[in-house]
Amino acid sequence: MIQFDAVHKRFPNGTTAVHDLTLRMPEGGVTVLVGSSGCGKTTTLRMINRMVEPTSGTIRVGGKDVTRQDAAELRRSIGYVIQQAGLFPHRTVLDNIATVPLLLGHGRRRARAKAAELLETVGLTAEAGKRYPHQLSGGQQQRVGVARALAADPPVLLMDEPFGAVDPVVRTQLQDELLRLQKELSKTIVFVTHDVDEAVRLGDQIAIFRTGGHLVQCASPAELLARPADDFVADFLGAERGLKLLSLKTLAGVPQGPAPEGEAWTLVLDAADKPLHWASKDGAEIPVRPLKDGDSLLAALDESIASPTGLVARVDAAGRLTGVTSRDDIHRHAGQAHSEARVAA
């Protein structure tokens, strides 16, 4: 657990980066710090491993005041991932990952063995370990950055816009993998981004900062989207915040009925009961995107608009048709999701 108590940071040039911040970042959860540039989110992150020293107030990691610890030792106990990875260009990928274990005196052999293991964890081949950072793509470098931060198995992981410099497709992949890793590892993660969608996707709680280093609101993504504290938060979340909330809710529990037969449009299945496309009586075909229970209400709403019948094809884990859900049912659940989020907490 990371606890900020009345933390203030004023830089020598007189600007206040963080203003009277009291914030709790729960153990094993992902806290995302968002806000426009210059709002103090990165400064907040960097005060945790003392890359920036607070002007006043206390910051405790696992109950211990960070300023009472040796800075270098503290940093070795906290994983740190930065934008564009910040890898050491003169060290191989393997040696980059082994950095902190080597600093801890684990010995080259053990450190490299651990590094090789982590390569696999973050989805890179053993062959990549022998390369130098400049020989990897941006996405691969970012994976190495994550592996390097995890190498000494720190309980806390600080991530400063780690996926800011990669293209949207790779970014989504990296986010997925971070979520998968987090399920296994349950680290206490502090994640800085200016991308609201990324925050909603990754955060267990989101802290929104305003210029001048003021924390405006800290809440779960659902609560934040349903009940923004003020106009600033509402504006920051954007006009589609209602839809963003739906990205947090799954289709599970939304009723389904049998697929229509003998009507204007029918759902064509293959031999294994997997939906292929919608077909009309006069031979037109429209593609179908079948959804599983784990897919979001937002995806269902999107598909219900694209579907010629307003019906969404539902499938099981193996991709076999289980039934269809109407646009009306999806709308009703979307509305429910909003009212629940507004009432909750």
Partner 1 sequence: MTIDWSWIGDHTDDLTSLTLSHLQAAMTAVFLGVLISLPLAVVAHRIRPLRGFLLGVSNVLFTIPSIAIFVLLLPVSGLTRTTTVIGLTVYTLVVLLRNTVEGLDSVPAKTKEAAKAMGTRPLRTLLTVEFPLALPVIMAGVRIATVMSISLVSVATYIGDGGLGQLFTDGFQRNFPTPVIAGVVLTILLAVVADALLVAVQYVLTPWRRRRA
Binding stretches for partner 1 (CB under 8 A): 49, 51, 72-77, 80, 82, 84, 86-92, 99-100, 103, 131-132, 134-136, 148
Contacts of 166 (CB under 8 A, 6+ apart): 138, 139, 142, 174
Shortest Å, Cβ 164 to partner 1: 13
Shortest Å, Cβ 295 to partner 1: 38
Instruction: Indicate the residue among 13 and 272 with the shorter CB distance to partner 1.
Output: 13
Instruction: Indicate the residue among 166 and 297 with the shorter CB distance to partner 1.
Output: 166
Strands 265-269 and 275-280, how do they pair? antiparallel
Instruction: Indicate the residue among 76 and 333 with the shorter CB distance to partner 1.
Output: 76
Of 175, 173, 190, 207, residue with least CA distance to 48: 190
State how far the Cα of 53 lies from the Cα of 43, in Å rounded to an integer.
9
Shortest Å, Cβ 98 to partner 1: 11
Instruction: Indicate the residue among 73 and 117 with the shorter CB distance to partner 1.
Output: 73
- How buried is residue 255: exposed, middle or buried, by Cβ count under 10 Å (0-12/13-18/19+)? exposed
Shortest Å, Cβ 329 to partner 1: 50
Shortest Å, Cβ 11 to partner 1: 17
Instruction: Indicate the residue among 69 and 266 with the shorter CB distance to partner 1.
Output: 69
